Amino acid sequence: MRLFLLLLGFAALIAGAACGASGLASFRSLDEGDYLLSGPARLTTSTAGFVGSTAELAGRSSGIRNNSITVRIRVSEGRGLFLGIAPAAAANPYLATARRELVDSIRYDPLELRRTAVGAGDALAPPANALAWTASVSGDAPLDLTWSAQNGDYVFVILRADGQPGVDATVEFGTKFRYQRGYAIAGIALGALLVIVGLLLAVGALRRRSPAPPADG
């Protein structure tokens, strides 16, 4: 029994430390608006710009519930830029007229984009009036675009406002889930509770005395 309690205590300590560390890391990654931020990175391309699925920003490939996730694209450095989000069916015919970089995956902290250059053509028509964007912003940095994710196939773009090739910008992505800060705090609290339980079990097991051997008759 003593060994069992000791092992159980150590298991609770390890689980508590992992849970608490995860919750603390999530909590510290949130900004004042409760967005989980990717950290900034400079993105450059000689093509017309960057195009990716909003599902990559939301951190999941399917099953997005309407308005349950808000995504953010923030540009801190760059001039004459256009940020936009639109249904893929509406945006793809327009984007297909120029060579661009397709974002295959996004990794946070530090921000890393895996991308592939696709298509042909030198320039796009100026994007602002090219189609009915669901959300968009343009101009010089700082720029901040937020969008409440919807079901369906949507794309985000980072282009030049004039549609010409050559994008150079310092970009940061953010994601906000419902109750995200609450989940982080709950993780910290659960981790602390498991650590306390683990300590009590371990200390109790170490203090537990083995039964005295029977006296010789």
Do 80 and 185 share a domain, yes or no?
no
- Residue 188 forms part of a structural domain: yes
Do 55 and 120 share a domain, yes or no?
yes
Q: What is the pLDDT of residue 214?
A: 61
Q: What is the pLDDT of residue 135?
A: 96
- Residue 202 forms part of a structural domain: yes
Q: What is the pLDDT of residue 67?
A: 55
**Structural domains counted in the chain:** 2
Q: What is the pLDDT of residue 34?
A: 77
3-state secondary structure of 24: helix
Q: What is the pLDDT of residue 125?
A: 95
Q: Which of 44, 34, 61 is nearest to 154 (CA)?
A: 61
User: Residue 51 belongs to a domain with what CATH number?
Assistant: 2.60.120
Structural domain range at position 25: 2-29+181-207
Q: What is the pLDDT of residue 212?
A: 56
Do 41 and 106 share a domain, yes or no?
yes
Sites in the chain below the pLDDT cut of 70: 29, 59-68, 178-181, 208-217
For 159, counting Cβ atoms within 10 Å of its Cβ (0-12 exposed, 13-18 middle, 19+ buried), the class is buried
